[in-house]
Structure 1
Amino acid sequence: MARRRRVFEVFTLSFLDCICCGFGAVILFYTIVSAQAGVVHIKNIDEMTAEVNRLKDEVLTGTRGLAPLRNTLEITRDEAARASAQTNLILAELARKQEEVSVYDATSLARREHIEKLKADVRSLEAGNKRLKAGSDERAAPGQDVTSFRKIGGERRYITGLRMRGKRILILLDVSGSMLHEDLVEILRLRNTDDAHKRAAAKWRRAVETVNWLLTQVPPGSEYQIYTFNTKAQPLLPDSGKKWISRGDTPRLERAMQALQMIVPAGGTSLQNAFTEAKTLFPLPDQLVLITDGLPTQGKTVGLHKYVNSAARERLFDQAIEEIPHDVPIDCVLLPMKGDLEAAHRFWHLARMTDGTLIMPAKDWP
């Protein structure tokens, strides 16, 4: 009997079992791999979380320290601003000091040039005096026969260039406090003494003797008037007013000399008021003799400042010059005063401008 041929089937139960087992193995493998990957991922997440927490702690710590840093920064900025302001002040002060130094240098240079000019003027005057003295020694001087003015007797020559030549001679005598002495410290000391000591001051006695000498030189037939001035100007003899006194009026001459002995120097010096008062005389003087020791300390009225510097005194002198009578020669007798460097030049210019003479007498004159 013929054997029946077996039918071959591909998808048998055994084959399906193998396929299922293979798929299961694959699924199991992927499950194991996925589980392992999840563990690694969780581990990484934990590490990153720890790192994040650490960074948060650092940020928190930094935030806490940021406030002091901000305060420190504000303090630093304030200090920098103050330092900048202080620097600007120092720079401004430095610029001001440099400007003062430049002005001082310019002033010092001008003063040195002025001093050199004065020295040249003094040398010129000394040379002129020597020439005049040489000429006067060769011929009899007209002043050798003048009247003696001291009780002890004795005659004096005319000092070079100073001659009483006018028909109406006005003598202006400075009676301010500076006439007590040539040194400021001694002036302050004498101001606190009694009137007798003030009248006996050596410098003031020279001024009085100078007026006495001038009075003896008034030419016969001429007239004179004496005005004293400090802050104000007034006639030496109040009853003479604005009138001229005759040279031959002996009683008034004696009264004038006695009045000189009673004066006590005091107060400031207003040369402007003295010249203004001189213009009130009628007729005007044709010769004016000014006896003083330096530049004025006030103008027409007392100034606002208690102390007057050299520049201000020069301005006061210039203001006084504007009040001088026209066409009247002014002879200046300048007594010494320490520290008043500009006085000699200013009064020399005044005498030269009015065709007068500047006299700076020696200690034994007159």
Structure 2
Amino acid sequence: MARNRRPLPNFSLSFLDIMSCGLGAMVLVFLIIKHNVNAAVPAAAMPPDQRGEVSLLDKEVLDGRKGLAELRNTIAEVEQQKVIAAGLARRIQEQVREAQGDTEAKRASSASDEIMALEAQVRDLEREKQQMEAERTKTGEHTRSFSGEGTRQYLTGLQIGGERILVLLDISASMLDETLVNVIRRKNMTDARRTGSVKWRQAVATLDWLTTRFPASSKFQVYLFSTDVKAAIPGTEGQWLNVNESARLDAAVDAVKAVVPEGGTSLQRAFQEIARLRPLPDNVYLITDGLPTQGLGAPRSGGKVSGNERFKLFNAAANQVPNGVPINTILLPMEGDPMAAFSFWGLAVASGGSFLSPAADWP
């Protein structure tokens, strides 16, 4: 049986030769090409014009490296100075805080001292205020000034106060002197000589002193009496005047200074006026020199009144005093009237008032 023969491929020896030749050519080319193109070319191998350019470029590179080194050194110095500056800044801040703390401490200490001093002053002022209020409670607030010539400018036991204060001032002829003989003599003198008598000037000064002790919040009235009764300020009868109106007080005292004592003494008429005031006074200050010499009318015995008759007239007058109204008597005694002190003292006890007979040089 005959065997099938395979067909021969087209790939022949000639093809292999061709491929080998091509590969050899590539190897040859590779060997021929330079592999150190990046290597530095010696200056001697360079053309003269290129050697100058290369030297210039090398110099610029060297200068650049030097500048870079200097810049790095400068940066390092700046960083070091920055660190030093930061340290100094922290130290300064600490010193500032310490100084502020000391200043605040000093201020706090100074403020504390000032506060303590002010508190001490306030306490002193409070004590002074309390003392003044206590003194005002005892003596009343001085609404007017008064300067006396005597050694005593006070009345022991006499409390000046109340919401409504009435002063009854005796302006009879007996207020001219302490003796009956001198009273008769002065009745024949001029008005200036009569108003200049020591006893009358003391009576006026007593009224003046009383008005300076009236509480400023109170009301007042001043009545003058002899055989009849009238207000020191005309047209104010039956009215209460405000003490804080100092012009009214001054007017009352000035009016009394112009009065010339004369006539007899009707204490009963004076006490009747107390009951006519509305509301009633809560303090009455009576300035007189003795028992009354007549009642509501003239004496029957032609002007002569005995001691017993004067005592009866006093009792009749005392019965006119409204209940609850204290009578405070300031007696400027006259010779020959021994029952006066006893009678007015009894009236003070019965009414809840006071009785005083000041020295000749008061107030």
Q: What range is the shorter-chain TM-score in? A: 0.5 to 0.7
- Deviation string for 1:297-335 (max 9, x for gaps)? 000111211200001001100111110121101100000
TM-score (norm 1): 0.59
Aligned partner (choices 351, 356, 360) of residue 353 of structure 2: 356
TM superposition score normalised by structure 2:
0.60
Paired position in structure 1 for 2:344: 347
Q: Which residue of 1 aligns with 2:197?
A: 201
Report the residue type matching 1:305 in the other structure: S
Task: Give the AA of the match of 1:232.
Answer: D
Deviation at 1:351, TM superposition (A): 0.4
Q: How far apart are residue 220 of structure 1 and its match?
A: 1.7
Q: Which residue of 1 aligns with 2:216?
A: 220
- Give the letter aligned to residue 348 of structure 2: A
CA distance in 2, matches of 1:205, 1:227: 17
Q: Work out the CA distance in 1 between the residues paired with 2:141 and 2:237.
A: 32
Q: Distance in 2 between the 1:154 and 1:144 partners?
A: 21
Assess if the C-alpha contact under 8 Å between 1:184 and 1:338 holds in 2: yes
> For 1:258, which of 249, 254, 257 is the aligned residue?
254
Instruction: Please tell me whether residue 182 in structure 1 is matched to residue 178 in structure 2.
Output: yes
Match of 2:292 among 291, 296, 299: 296
Return the alpha-carbon distance in structure 2 between the equivalents of residues 237 and 140 of structure 1: 30
Q: Which has the higher contact order (CA 8 A, sep 6+)?
A: 2
**1:233 maps onto 2:219 in alignment:** no
| Contact 2:139-2:161 within 8 A present in 1 as well | no
The answer on whether the counterparts of 1:143 and 1:156 sit within 8 Å (CA) in structure 2 is: no
- Cα distance, 1:152–1:349 mapped onto 2, change above 3 Å: closer
The structure having more radius of gyration, on CA atoms, is 2
- The amino acid across from 1:179 in the alignment is M
What percentage of aligned pairs have identical amino acids?
A: 43
CA distance in 1, matches of 2:280, 2:168: 14
Following superposition, the deviation at residue 277 of structure 1 comes to 1.2
Instruction: Output the CA distance in 2 between the equivalents of 1:155 and 1:250.
Output: 27
- Whether the 8 Å contact between 2:142 and 2:215 is mirrored in structure 1 is no
Q: Report the CA distance shift for 1:254/1:179 in structure 2 as closer, same or farther (over 3 A).
A: same
After TM superposition, list the pairs within 5 Å mapping 1:265-304 onto structure 2.
Answer: 265-304=261-300
**Structure 2: gaps spanning 5 or more residues:** 1-133
2:315 corresponds in structure 1 to 318
Give the Cα–Cα distance (whole angstroms) in 2 for the partners of residues 337 and 327 of structure 1. Answer: 29
AA of the residue aligned to 1:239: G
Supply the AA of the counterpart residue of 1:269: T
Amino acid corresponding to residue 252 of structure 1 in structure 2: R
- The Cα shift of 1:257 comes to 1.6
Q: Which amino acid aligns with 2:310?
A: R
Cα offset, 1:145, TM superposition: 8.2
Cα drift, residue 149 of structure 1: 3.5
Distance of 1:313 and 1:158 partners within structure 2: 31
Aligned residues of 1:143 and 1:157 also touching (Cα < 8 A): no
Corresponding position of 1:91:
none
Larger CA deviation: 234-243 vs 179-188 = 234-243
2:332 alignment counterpart: 335
The whole-number CA distance in structure 1 between the counterparts of 2:202 and 2:154 is: 16
After TM superposition, what 4+ stretches of structure 1 lie above 3 angstroms from structure 2? Answer: 139-158
C-alpha distance in structure 1 between counterparts of 2:265 and 2:150, whole Å: 34
Counterparts of 2:148 and 2:318 in 1: how far apart (Å)?
39
> What is aligned with 1:170?
166
* Alpha-carbon spacing, 1:157–1:146, altered in 2? closer, same or farther (3 Å): farther
Q: Aligned pair in 2 of structure 1 residues 184, 143: CA closer, same or farther (>3 Å)?
A: same
The gaps in structure 1 that reach 5 residues or longer are 1-138
CA distance 1:277–1:362, change in 2 (3 Å): same
